Structure 1
């Protein structure tokens, strides 16, 4: 399975900053020690024109050329630097590349991404550009040119925080269905309206979570028939997460991933994964959750490959 990484470009963060940027390097290094599971490639940088498919030109210019105000940088949570801008472009480029690969091969991944708090005109919550929104719009444009058909896109956002930026960007777009399942009392405290929102109580565990997911996915299939899906497979619903407030076990998260991947494979819907959030008290636990997600995605890709070879 193809997987794209962008951890070569670091953020200049002060000591004690809550954003665990080293998890992306640790995730890549794990799979470098397990060759054959993933075909890992460095992410390309998204162009200004690609970013402008989901973001205002003024905001794109401010990020790329260092014109963000101090208040805008505080809302994002990162100080501006050339490396921050380049990292953000490549995180979007990873989702673009993963989406193209998914349309060809069934399943592919961005080993970071899931920056769903970024709006069209601003960043927020450690999210600079909205990688899924840009990639979705670009895939629709490329699909229309090559197939002369509409590509309908499903966003399955299972990060513990609501995908408010994604919901805002696609608010009036009936070609994209946004589904977010998240902690009701968690950030962002003012939610946007997704096409389908599932709010979870603090302390929600495996049984309740998976039951709510089953109900929500059944509603998604009743209401929408996509040609491409993006899956934000956040590790932050895990019981050991500092910011999550939910109580999912490692096994519960694996069952979550299997439910999503199996449902998409059954319907032959290509999927591009993003790792999204994860802020474990023990960073190794967060990395282990995301290793599991990528392992399960690679298994799903193998089933697609078998079907292509015998179909």
Structure 2
């Protein structure tokens, strides 16, 4: 199974900044040490032409040249720097690469990504470009070039915050299904309309969350037949997350991941996974949760490889 990293391109953040940038490096080190079956590759840079399938050309230019105004930069939450631009491009490139790798092998991972608050013409909430949206459009553009029908892609967003930018980008687009389970009283406080939103109360625990997710997945598959899943596996529903407000345990988050992977395996769907949010009071617990997601994906990947040939791992809906 392949995983793509971009943590060598780290933003210089002010002292005391609340974004846990170090978690990406720590996660890569854990994968390297503990998951020898996972092949690590450096994330490619997403080109302007790839970003422009989703993002406004003037926004891409203003990000690249540091011409965002103070309000726009504040909304993103990071100070501008060349490193910010490099990391944002590689975070998108990693999800595109993970989608390609998942199509070949069943599962693949971006060790960052999940930048779901970014809209077509503005960033927000630590998100510059929307990696899942750009990756979905990349897959569809490549299918069109090959003369194939447009693949239908489901974006399953289990970060604790609603995927508002993703929902807005794909509103009224029948080729992409957006599913978001999120805290009802959490950021963003003005929500967009996903294809399926499940808003959860503060303090929601393991059993209630699993029940809600099982129902949401069943509803999604009743309404939509995807060729692929892009899965945002946020660590921030954890009970000890500083920005979370839900109450899932580490075991409850494992149940969550297993529900998604089982649903995909049962339908022979490739899955590209991104890490999304995670702001635990103890950064090691956040890294543990992200690593657990990758471990479970590696197990699911191994089971699928044992029972399938590479050709059968490609969804017929892509052909």
TM-score for both structures, normalised by structure 2: 0.96
Mapped to 1, the partners of 2:36 and 2:79 lie a distance apart of: 37
Mapped to 2, the partners of 1:196 and 1:32 lie a distance apart of: 36
2:45 matches 1:38:
no
Mapped to 1, the partners of 2:80 and 2:146 lie a distance apart of: 38
* Aligned match of 1:108: 108
Give the 3-state SS of the residue equivalent to 2:211 in structure 1.
helix
* Aligned match of 2:53: 53
**Which ranges in structure 1 are unaligned for 5 or more consecutive residues?**
none
Kept in 1: contact 2:231–2:273 (CA 8 A)? yes
**Which ranges in structure 2 are unaligned for 5 or more consecutive residues?**
313-319
Give the alignment of 1:53-132 within 5 angstroms.
53-132=53-132
Kept in 2: contact 1:31–1:37 (CA 8 A)? no
Kept in 1: contact 2:157–2:180 (CA 8 A)? yes
Mapped to 1, the partners of 2:173 and 2:36 lie a distance apart of: 39
Tell me how far 1:306 sits from its aligned partner: 1.5
Give the alignment of 1:219-238 within 5 angstroms.
219-238=219-238
* Aligned match of 2:315: none
Q: Deviations over 1:113-159 (max 9, x none)?
A: 00000000000000000000000000011122225122000000000
2:197 matches 1:197:
yes
Mapped to 1, the partners of 2:151 and 2:92 lie a distance apart of: 19
Mapped to 2, the partners of 1:276 and 1:240 lie a distance apart of: 16
Tell me how far 1:70 sits from its aligned partner: 1.1
Mapped to 2, the partners of 1:35 and 1:202 lie a distance apart of: 34
Deviating above 3 A after TM superposition, structure 1's stretches of 4 or more consecutive aligned residues are: none
* Aligned match of 1:267: 267
2:295 matches 1:295:
yes
* C-alpha RMSD of the superposition: 1.1
Q: Deviations over 1:81-130 (max 9, x none)?
A: 00100000000000000000111111101000000000000000000000
Q: Which stretch of structure 1 is more off in the superposition, 196-205 or 61-70?
A: 61-70
Kept in 2: contact 1:144–1:151 (CA 8 A)? no
Kept in 1: contact 2:35–2:295 (CA 8 A)? no
Mapped to 2, the partners of 1:84 and 1:215 lie a distance apart of: 38
* Aligned match of 2:183: 183
Q: Which stretch of structure 1 is more off in the superposition, 295-304 or 142-151?
A: 142-151
2:134 matches 1:134:
yes
* Aligned match of 2:22: 22
Give the 3-state SS of the residue equivalent to 2:194 in structure 1.
coil
Tell me how far 1:35 sits from its aligned partner: 4.8
Q: Deviations over 1:28-68 (max 9, x none)?
A: 01112125231000000000000001100000111112111
Pairs aligned (count): 311
